Amino acid sequence: MTITAPGPGPVHAGPGPRPVQPDRLLWRAVRSAGWWTPALATVSLAGVAAQLTLPAALGQAVDAAVGGTTDSARRWLAVVVGLVLLLVGTDAVRDYGTGAAGARSVADLRHTLIRHLLALDPRTAARHPVGDLAGRLVGQVTDAGQAASTLVLAGTVLLPPLGSLIALTLIDPWLGLTFVVGLLLLGVLLRGFVTDASAAVAGYQRAQGRLAGLLVEALTGARTIAAAGTADRETDRILTPVKELHRYGRRTWTVLATAATRGAVVSPLLQLGIVAVGGLSLAAGRLTPGNLLAALQYAALGAGLGTVVSTLNQAVQVRAGSRRAAEVLAEPVRHHGHRPLPPGPGCLELRDVSVRSADGRWLLDRIDLRVPGGALLVVVGPSGAGKSLLAAVAGRLRDPDRGEVRLDGVPLPELTEAALHTAIGYGFERPVLVAETVGGAVGCGDDPVPLARAAAIHEFVERLPDRYDTPLVEVAMSGGERQRLGLARALRAGRLLVLDDATSSLDTVTEYRVIRALTDRSDRRTRIVVSHRVGTAARADLVAWIDAGRIRAVGPHAVLWADPDYRAVFQS
């Protein structure tokens, strides 16, 4: 039977991703800090109140010591000591609370980001290099997780200057006016700090992500690089973003240094102005020595630029980190339906399925294919024909751009996630084993022994020090042994088993044992096997011959063998 397919028609694009705004992510970080956010706000306000009260108390203590009674001097000295102890206590609680709030927020954001990444369509996730994603998860999420403490700090950082202004005005209006002039000058000098720092930090984080992505890519192919003798060239390629890192890093420190330098110049001038005006007021009899001391303390407190600059810099980093994390969260996840899988033999149908590449080429072109329940279908074709893509579509590792895939009459997107993963299992050419132990990697919670026996890997596991409880990281295995462990994991499938060249690394005897198990008539699951071996095709109930993204024919191997083009597939 030969199947031809007409050219593809129009494709209707689905809804685009709903972007996650950085501000929403920041508010989530603030909420996830829990009760530490209001606690930090309370402690910070108490600390600011103590800071603003301390100069006045010191002034009163000095005036009492100079011209007051001994009891009055002792009372004010006790007040000063109490305020100092309060400042020490609030600083200690604030430092601890900042760490605790950040830890809770970072944990929540990382959990959210990881769940989102694992829920992405594989081709969507592949658009982001692994190193870049790791950088966002480790670095930028850590920055965004400081949102609670940064919000509290930003809300209180201007209280000391404002309080100092009010206090200086109450002491002497001329002192208040002098202070206002100095603050206006500081504001003008810091006007472009946030904009410049934001651009520098964002650029640095992007370059850092590209560097991490290139490094992970090179480490993954380390053996190939060593075999090709291209280590020097790869080193240059990996370090390409370093120049950009240097440029943005230098820009960041230049912005910070400029702000600090301007502050270092203006702040002493402002304090000298307060000293001059205060001295004149003292000489004129409008101020007492204690008032002058308090005025000097308020001037130092209000003109201190370090806290303001560090707060602005921290806010810039938090904002940039949240933006980088939000970019990943804006990617649309693969949604699942609410339908369970009804009883059935495992009949698989691909109806008018088409898949296109990122550049618009059709990789699968209107595939219509029906696999009866319990049948063994072997997919064959030349390299690049679309065999692996067809296998991915069959079990919803990739959704088609047009058409639908049904299992026992239910479109795969309408199945619940549990129903989908219980019904379908995958075996890959290069499986990635994810678990703490060998048994966990195979059974995923089920008894791994029957699965390992069927995949001809049980004897290997039995020779391990702790058998199925052996930590996976301690197991040295060949490519064939890893492939069989991955195959054993796939055999958990309840209704549809998809194997994408999953026996390519096995020796002839082992492959024969595995294929014999897969072709056992007692196995009532539907099986789709991508293979290039004629012996596997000969054992199949049906063979799907695919070429250039289209199905050329579907039928028994013995029937298709009469076509010389079909025979050429195995010869190549």
Q: What is the pLDDT confidence band of residue 254, given thresholds at 50, 70 and 90?
A: confident
Q: Which domains does the chain have, with CATH numbers?
A: 22-329 (1.20.1560.10), 348-571 (3.40.50.300)
What's residue 388's pLDDT? 86
Whether the Cβ atoms of residue 266 and residue 222 lie closer than 8 Å to each other: no
CA-wise closest residue to 546 among 101, 115, 5: 5
pLDDT interval class at 406 (50, 70, 90): very high
At 16 the pLDDT is 40
H runs (alpha helix) in 120-172: 122-125, 130-135, 141-144, 147-156, 159-171
User: DSSP readout, 523-572?
Assistant: --SEEEEE---HHHHHT-SEEEEEETTEEEEEE-HHHHTTSHHHHHHHH-
Of 73-82, 208-217, 421-430, the least confident = 208-217
Contacts of 152 (CB under 8 A, 6+ apart): 37, 40, 41, 44
**What does pLDDT average to over the chain?**
80
The pLDDT assigned to 471 comes to 86
Q: Please compute the mean of the pLDDT values over residues 287-291 and round it to a whole number.
A: 81
Give the per-residue pLDDT at 503: 66
Each residue's pLDDT tens digit, 412-441: 999 998 898 889 888 877 777 777 888 888
Find the mean pLDDT for residues 65-73: 76
Which of 520, 514, 569 is closest to 541 using CA atoms?
520
**What's the pLDDT at 520?**
64
More confident residue, 49 or 70: 49
Nearest to 172 by CA among 285, 14, 39, 324: 285
Q: What is the pLDDT of residue 411?
A: 93
Q: Average pLDDT, stretch 86-95?
A: 90
Look at residues 434, 435, 439 and name the one whose alpha carbon lies nearest to residue 460.
439
pLDDT tier for residue 519 given thresholds of 50, 70 and 90: low
pLDDT of residue 184: 75
Query: What's the confidence (pLDDT) of residue 46?
Result: 92
Comparing 143-157, 304-318, 558-572, the range with the smallest average pLDDT is 304-318
So what's the pLDDT on residue 356?
Answer: 87
User: Among candidates 207, 373, 177, 157, which has minimal Cα distance to 281?
Assistant: 177
Better-predicted residue by pLDDT, 359 or 53: 53
Pairing of strands 402-407, 410-411: antiparallel
What's the pLDDT at 396? 87
Predicted TM-score (pTM) of this structure: 0.71
**181 has pLDDT over 90:** no
Give the range among 86-100, 105-119, 286-300 with minimum mean pLDDT: 286-300
In whole angstroms, give the CA distance from residue 39 to residue 93: 9
